[in-house]
A and B are shown apart, each in its own frame.
Chain A
Amino acid sequence: MKRPIFLIIATVLILILAAVWVYVLLYGNPENLSEQFTDFNFNNETVVETPPEPTPEPEPTVAVDDARLQQLTTTPVVGYQIIQPTPTSTALVYYVEAGTGHIFSINLDTGEEERISRTTIPNTSDATISPNGEFVVITSGSGGRKETLVGRRSTTSDTLLTTPLNELVDSVHPTTNNTFLYSTPDGNTMVVKEYNPTTNTTETLFTIPFREATLVWGDTADSVHYFYPKPSRYLEGALYKFADGAISRTPVSGFGMSAISDKNSVLYSESIQNSYKTTIFNVENNTSIESVLSIIPEQCAVLKQNLSTLICSSSFGNTPTSLPDSWYTGKISAGKQLFLINLKTGGFKGRVVFSDTGRELNISDIEINNYNSLVLIKNKLDNTLWLYKLKF
């Protein structure tokens, strides 16, 4: 083929291709999708796929089910309370988060968790909530820089209305009247007072003649209160009682002594010759029963409704000789099981072992509701909050 003819043919082809490309670019949109896509609708049925409606993000929930032992929080807590006005009403758990002072509510029926106070109180180290959940006493800071606030939940927002309690507070306890009992050091003594958050008034109840005191609180300001020197296995202590306006000495004493009491009996433990012994003392008839188990009284709580029963934790086969100091320090862990102790007979029952949780528990700060059905436990290892459903 001659060269000029070849060039002419090639040029014509290129022009034709360019024209087709321009046409497709400008006029190539199909009017009907079926022109472009093969129809696989074999039965000639039209199926319309619609994307699902986006659902709103649910409130955070806590796993609450029929399991008797449940972990309620993964963050550490410093105070908690069960709010349940009647046995059949929904039980709510209020807790105060460590470090922030935020207050949360967990509905134990639905597991729904709600932050009811977003007011931040930095370095929150301790908190006490009133039985009706309306008031809270929060302590922040440490040492001489401790500050204590009394908070009241706002009814219109998630803020906490706070009032400073301008005293150095050592310990706080809520009463069944929704007031607070607290102890405050005064020189070489400890003064015990009652604060009414409704009226913002304070009343002095009595003065302890030494400063390093641990209190076993009664239910109200007029109840019997016990106190003893803070325990150490190398120092002797004795149990004193405040009742009817006077302080008196009970026959209970010992090295490393700590105690818990209902109205008629005292369970106390002491260090004796490299062992840790627990005894139940009847206040009315001055008799004693030695317990077969070694129990740290701080790992106990009194069941309500005058049942003369404690719920306690213990995990000792061979009792460490270093108690109670080593438990206070955080060197040893205690509390792999729960059981009930009858203060009249010294017998125990209802032993529950927590081995199936797969978690190590160091039980402390047991709280129980007014109907003896719900038990709150703080795991001292990480200060998380746990719930145990008690069944007699």
Chain B
Amino acid sequence: MRAFLAPCILLCLTLLPLSTQAQFNVDFGGGSFDVDSFANSGFGAAEIGITLSPSQPQPGAEVEASLSDYSSSLYGSSISWVLDGQVIPDAANQRNVTFTAGKAGETQTLQAILTTPEGTTRTLTNTISPVYLDIILEPQTRVPDFYAGRSLPSIGSMINATALVSDGSTIRTTDLIYTWQVGQTVLEGGPLRGGYKVSFEMPRGDQAVLSVRATEPNGTLVANRAVLVRSVMPTVHFYEVSSLFGVKPIVLTDSFTISGNTATVRAEPYHLDSRVFNNPDITEWEINNRSTDTGGNNPYQVTLQKTSSFGNTQLDFHVRDTSEVLQGARSSLRINF
């Protein structure tokens, strides 16, 4: 008898915590949540719970909720999904359900109601509070003044990134703790209070992953997000310049015909690092493959003069940094006259 009692006692002690987990609510000061969602954060993973993908959805995003159930005690249970008190149709007895995250600042409650064959009910709950986390990228590369768009990053160029967290009514910046990563590298040495802005160098390769994690000072996760940052090769476009009216913002593609005796052409590099543009090691103009001196104050501009009544020539421009950023661009244009 004693031999039989000992394993029973041991078994009861093992099962007792499992039977009380669903009713065990903990308030960590930043809001109440049940053990299931706490377990999903990775701290002592429970055998049962609801996992969300993405874990921190943005407002209006499509969210997939999955029931993680490794407990044999709920084998054969029926599953019913309820969102904000409304049963989700067509989700009965499904382990996964898809729904749309609500508006920023609004809280949604997702429940999975498990009914065992014996008739006992267990409810798993997860709350979703969508917030916007925007990552604004501002590459420090150059585009012309008349260009209304944003410049793009090129390899080796500096990028300023700004994280803006919004619950729909206000933008939060300095009261959160931010952790930035480029690939596997943590920037700024680790989390920073109010560190919603960061600068980094575009690494080699076609793209890089930039991620940011924003938490409350007490460690509660507010939002996290990762974006793919693509790099481009710097390019050069040619534009005609009038000495009186200024630059004509239409690209000279392939060829350009000089109508008068002279014409001024400007080479505008796109997405070239600003440091290279302002202080290039090489700026070269070539006419018919022969280097020519522009003689003017602007190394990106050349004035051409007809030397015969008709003909054509090849105009080439090359800009490059050979010491620090190691990037450059070149292009050519056919001149007809």
- Residues of A in contact with B (beta carbons under 8 Å apart): 75-76, 97-100, 123-125, 142-143, 146, 188, 209-212, 214, 229-232, 234-238, 240, 246-249, 251, 253, 286, 298, 324-325, 328-331, 362, 380-383
Within 8 A of A (CB), among B172-198: 173, 196-197
Within 8 A of A (CB), among B243-262: 244-246, 248-251, 253
A210 CA / B244 CA spacing, docked (Å): 35
A145 CA / B96 CA spacing, docked (Å): 59
Q: Which residue of B lies closest to A247 (CB)?
A: B171
Do A75 and B250 have beta carbons less than 8 Å apart?
no
Q: Which residue of B lies closest to A331 (CB)?
A: B251
Given A329-B251, A331-B253, A123–B239 Cβ distance below 8 Å?
no
Give 25 A-B contacts (CB < 8 Å), ordered by A residue: A75-B245, A76-B242, A97-B245, A98-B246, A125-B146, A146-B145, A210-B136, A210-B138, A211-B160, A229-B136, A229-B150, A230-B149, A230-B150, A231-B148, A234-B152, A235-B150, A238-B132, A247-B171, A248-B166, A249-B132, A298-B148, A328-B148, A329-B251, A329-B270, A383-B245
A328 CA / B249 CA spacing, docked (Å): 9
Do A143 and B145 have beta carbons less than 8 Å apart?
yes
Indicate which residue in B59, B104, B146, B149 contacts A232 across the interface (CB closer than 8 Å). B149
Do A209 and B138 have beta carbons less than 8 Å apart?
no
B222 in the interface (beta carbon within 8 A)? no
B151: chain A residues at CB < 8 Å are 232
Given A123-B246, A328-B148, A209–B60 Cβ distance below 8 Å?
no
B137 in the interface (beta carbon within 8 A)? yes
A124: chain B residues at CB < 8 Å are 246
A76 CA / B242 CA spacing, docked (Å): 10
Q: Which residue of B lies closest to A326 (CB)?
A: B251
Number of B positions contacting A (CB below 8 A): 44
Do B168 and A328 have beta carbons less than 8 Å apart?
no
* Residues of B contacting A: mostly: loop
Do A380 and B150 have beta carbons less than 8 Å apart?
no
Do B145 and A142 have beta carbons less than 8 Å apart?
yes
B227: chain A residues at CB < 8 Å are 236
A76: chain B residues at CB < 8 Å are 242, 245-246, 248
Do A382 and B149 have beta carbons less than 8 Å apart?
no
* Closest-CB distance, B170 to chain A (whole angstroms): 6
B169: chain A residues at CB < 8 Å are 246, 248
Indicate which residue in A99, A146, A240, A328 contacts B244 across the interface (CB closer than 8 Å). A99
* Closest-CB distance, A320 to chain B (whole angstroms): 14
Do A209 and B171 have beta carbons less than 8 Å apart?
yes
Do B250 and A380 have beta carbons less than 8 Å apart?
yes
Do B132 and A209 have beta carbons less than 8 Å apart?
no
Indicate which residue in A211, A240, A381 contacts B138 across the interface (CB closer than 8 Å). A211
Known: A253-B134, A330-B237. 4 other contacts (CB 8 A): A142-B145, A210-B136, A210-B138, A298-B148
Given A142-B145, A232-B152, A248–B170 Cβ distance below 8 Å?
yes
A235: chain B residues at CB < 8 Å are 137, 150, 152
* Closest-CB distance, B117 to chain A (whole angstroms): 44
Given A210-B138, A328-B149, A381-B250, A234–B230 Cβ distance below 8 Å?
yes
Cβ contacts B245-283/A at 8 Å (1 or 0 each): 110111101000000000000000010000000000000
A236 CA / B132 CA spacing, docked (Å): 13
A237 CA / B146 CA spacing, docked (Å): 20
A237 CA / B138 CA spacing, docked (Å): 11
Do B148 and A99 have beta carbons less than 8 Å apart?
no
* Closest-CB distance, A124 to chain B (whole angstroms): 8
Most buried by B among A146, A230, A237: A230
Given A99-B245, A234-B152, A212–B138 Cβ distance below 8 Å?
yes
Indicate which residue in B135, B244, B249 contacts A380 across the interface (CB closer than 8 Å). B249
A229 CA / B152 CA spacing, docked (Å): 13
Most buried by A among B59, B150, B227, B250: B150
A235 CA / B171 CA spacing, docked (Å): 21
B43: chain A residues at CB < 8 Å are none
